[in-house]
Structure 1
Amino acid sequence: MAASSSRNGRSAGRRARQGLTLVELVLAMVVIGVGLAGVMLAYSTVGRGSADPLVQRQMQAIAEELIEEIALKPYAASANDAPTTDCARDTWNDIGDYAGYATTGRICGIDGVPIAALAGYSVRVAIEPVALGGISAARRISVTVSRSGSADLTLRTWRTDYAS
């Protein structure tokens, strides 16, 4: 009587396979734990560097603004007051006035007022005469922005005395 040897139509071999052993549970937990550790490592690596694009973009904006400010000045203007040693640049009237301009730990507006949101950034300006494709009246303008914990960012442009 085959029907009496199985309970509700199930065989005895099938019934023994329905649960998990303690070894299988421990092994499953180890595999899941290792997988989660790998995922968390990936997230922590991404999270550590997530502020870098913001700092880099801010440094780029500072450098672009200062390069544009310098490039819009005349190549050589009539004499003006000597460049000040503080942050103010409002009396500067040609690109030569910006040579050697530098701040440490602060960025200032053209009027010399430090911009509080940019505390910690520093800027250096170098203006050098260069021969540019046969044009002798040319200068290379380099603006370097730095912040502790980040690589320096340098933007360069060239300015010629096209008006003379």
Structure 2
Amino acid sequence: MCTESALPGAPRVRQRGLSLIELIIFMVIVSVGVVGLVSVIASLTRGSADPMVRKQMMAIAESVLREAADQPFTYCDPADVNAATASSTAQCTGGAAASQDKGGGALSTPSPTNETRYNAPQFNNVADYGGFSKLNIDDITGNFAMAGYTASVAVARAGGDFGLADAGAALRVTVTVSHAGQDDYSLSTYRFRYAPRAF
């Protein structure tokens, strides 16, 4: 509030202070700035755990991929009586259709079909992992479940990728891990049948 002197010879005093309109505009500008700053900080804070989740996805994918790739890649199932002597998939018990190559069929189930990752009889060949998928993935003993993480394994013949006459002489193993709110993470490796009777 400002007052002016009514005396004719008194010096004029300049008005000082802010008007109500100027004060409201200032408050609006400061409020918009604070809201913008808080929203940026909130999004950074909300995303701060994402690197840990992504790193966990990478570790799970690497672990399952290594587990699958470390299995024997033989003509026959290692439990087959002919596994140590077979020189082709046709010499497996039950012929090529019962071999680890499934006679050229899809590699989406273990052979024999009663094998699992967790219970006896367990997966014992690279191709057995084809089609495996597990929500809340855990280790091979069934312990240490990772809540919210899903791992799935795809196995495909890849001999043609390397110009090999036998497409089944190499396999491409791909492990995909997913978690809510994240992009899927995939790792792939190739496994060659360099020792078809070693298990």
Is the TM value for this pair above 0.5? yes
Structure 2 letter corresponding to 1:155: L
Residues 121 and 145 of structure 1 are in contact (CA less than 8 Å); yes or no, is this contact kept in structure 2? yes
Q: 1:68 to 1:89 in 2, by over 3 A?
A: farther
TM-score for both structures, normalised by structure 2: 0.63
Identify the residue that residue 71 of structure 1 maps to in structure 2: 69
Does 1:156 find its partner at 2:188? yes
1:133 aligns with 2:165: no
Judge conservation of contact 2:78–2:125 (CA < 8 Å) in 1.
no
User: What percent identity do the matched residue pairs reach?
Assistant: 37
- How far does residue 38 in structure 1 lie from its aligned partner after superposition? 1.4
What CA deviation, in whole Å up to 9, does each residue of 1:125-155 have, x standing for no partner?
A: 1111122322331101011112334332222
The TM-score, its normalising length taken from structure 1, stands at 0.74
| Larger strand percent | 1
User: When the two structures are aligned, how many residues end up with a matched partner?
Assistant: 151
CA distance in 1, matches of 2:73, 2:51: 34
C-alpha distance after superposition, 1:34-90 (max 9, x if no partner): 111111222233333333332222111101111112222222275228453463488
Q: 1:84 to 1:78 in 2, by over 3 A?
A: closer
Q: Check 1:134–1:86 CA distance in 2 against 1; reply closer, same or farther (3 A cut).
A: closer
Distance 1:25 1:90, change over 3 A: farther
Helix, strand or coil for the counterpart of 1:49? helix
Greater RCO (CA < 8 Å, at least 6 residues apart): 2
Are residues 1:93 and 2:124 paired?
A: yes
For the 8 Å contact 2:115–2:121, the answer to whether it is kept is no
The aligned amino acid for 1:133 is: F
SS of structure 1 residue aligned to 2:173:
strand
In structure 2, the CA distance between the partners of 1:90 and 1:35, relative to structure 1 (3 Å rule), is: farther
Task: Give the alignment's Cα RMSD to 1 decimal.
Answer: 2.9
The 3-state SS of whatever aligns with 1:119 is: coil
Q: Secondary structure at the match of 2:48?
A: coil
Q: Distance in 2 between matches of 1:93 and 1:86?
A: 9
Deviation of 1:33 (Å): 0.6
> Per the alignment, do residues 37 and 90 of structure 1 end up closer, same or farther by CA in structure 2, a change over 3 Å counting?
farther
In structure 1, C-alpha distance between the alignment counterparts of 2:61 and 2:121, rounded to whole Å: 18
2:116/2:122 contact within 8 Å kept = no
- Superposed, 1:2-151 pairs within 5 Å as 12-13=13-14, 16-17=15-16, 19-76=17-74, 79-80=78-79, 82=112, 84-85=115-116, 87-88=118-119, 91-104=122-135, 106-111=136-141, 113-116=142-145, 118-130=146-158, 131-135=160-164, 136=166, 137-151=169-183
